Amino acid sequence: MLTGLNVAVIGGDARQLEVIRKLTELDTKLFLIGFDQLDHGFTGATKVKMDEVPFQEIDAIILPIPGTNQEGIVETVFSNEEVILTEELINQTPSHCTIYSGISNAYLDNLVQSTNKKLVQLFKRDDVAIYNSIPTVEGTLMMVIQHTDITIHGSTVAVLGLGRVGMSVARTFSALGAKVKVGARDTADLARITEMGLEPFHIDHLEDKVTDIDVCINTIPAMIVTAKVISNMPAHTLIVDLASKPGGTDFRYAEKRGIKALLAPGLPGIVAPKTAGQIVANVLTQLLNELKIDGKGLSS
């Protein structure tokens, strides 16, 4: 149980509802900011505005998966009010107050540094990323089926990157009968691709490896699918970019060439928000319990 913990949940989408549901079940005292248009009520959770939060009593702050933008604005799907996380507000919190976010950026990094707070990035955890790869793969399959006129079985698919998402994507498309080639840099990754029964290639040779593909799935958060690469693709190729914004594809050139290119970060929150929310909620429960056990999480 998380009785005695005061937690501010600031903004977010449908995934945050699972977090709120889980934490209220565990008797956490929640302050919900950016949920004024949400009809659903949660016992033990209070909808408030930013200036109504008793920050001096807050043990933890939970931000949406994207955290904030570069101006400190927090995404609020369930509110039209602009919510901004500022240094002034964070400075009001107790020294032990911990901030939880999916990812970070320069603004959030500077904020926690200037206020001497701890920031936990959930998506840097292997368990979260691996669990999230499941709805990501399902969403990718959906997009490929919707935007091509061929079966996955028998198609040629290039997967770029063998990280936690890339590995799941490559394995699944191969299991469905696609001819999968995977591009990576690390020699250990190239060995793993071979062990998986897939075709490995060094990412430096990408231009030569896309001449016969039907689908290109990028997971690398860097400009990797360049104009040169796209110019070597067949005209019917579909590009699905799973990397975080702005992706790793030259979308301008793809459009000019007439190749369909889709930027699709955050697929778990789109195709399976309940499951994606439960993944985050379970990990947050564990982290908040550790905070409480350490004796740092009880404001007094």
- CATH number of the domain where residue 55 is located: 3.40.50.720
Confidence of residue 300 (pLDDT cuts 50, 70, 90): very low
> Do 141 and 109 share a domain, yes or no?
no
> Do 231 and 148 share a domain, yes or no?
yes
Q: Which long-range contacts (CB under 8 A, 24 or more apart) does 234-240 make?
A: 235/259, 236/148, 237/210, 237/213, 238/144, 238/147, 238/148, 238/214, 238/262, 239/215, 240/140, 240/143, 240/144, 240/215, 240/216, 240/264
Residue 58 inside a domain? The answer is: yes
Q: 267: closest CA among 276, 254, 258, 259?
A: 276
Residue 300 inside a domain? The answer is: no
> Do 139 and 261 share a domain, yes or no?
yes
Q: Which amino acid is at 181?
A: K
pLDDT of residue 42: 84
Residue 236 inside a domain? The answer is: yes
pLDDT of residue 43: 81
> Do 228 and 106 share a domain, yes or no?
no
Residue 299 inside a domain? The answer is: no
* 162-195 confidence digits (pLDDT tens): 999 999 999 999 999 999 999 999 999 999 999 9
> Do 179 and 229 share a domain, yes or no?
yes
Residue 298 inside a domain? The answer is: no
Domain that holds residue 118: 6-124+273-293
> Do 76 and 150 share a domain, yes or no?
no
Residue 93 inside a domain? The answer is: yes
Residue 109 inside a domain? The answer is: yes
> Do 216 and 100 share a domain, yes or no?
no
Least confident of 37-41, 73-77, 161-165, 184-188: 37-41
> Do 183 and 86 share a domain, yes or no?
no
> Do 86 and 133 share a domain, yes or no?
no
Residue 215 inside a domain? The answer is: yes
pLDDT of residue 288: 95
> Do 87 and 27 share a domain, yes or no?
yes
Q: Is the pLDDT of residue 93 over 50?
A: yes
Number of domains in the chain: 2
Contacts of 286 (CB under 8 A, 6+ apart): none
* 189-202 confidence digits (pLDDT tens): 999 999 999 999 99
> Do 116 and 215 share a domain, yes or no?
no
The CA angle 137-199-134, to the nearest 5 degrees, is 10
pTM of the model: 0.83
> Do 120 and 133 share a domain, yes or no?
no
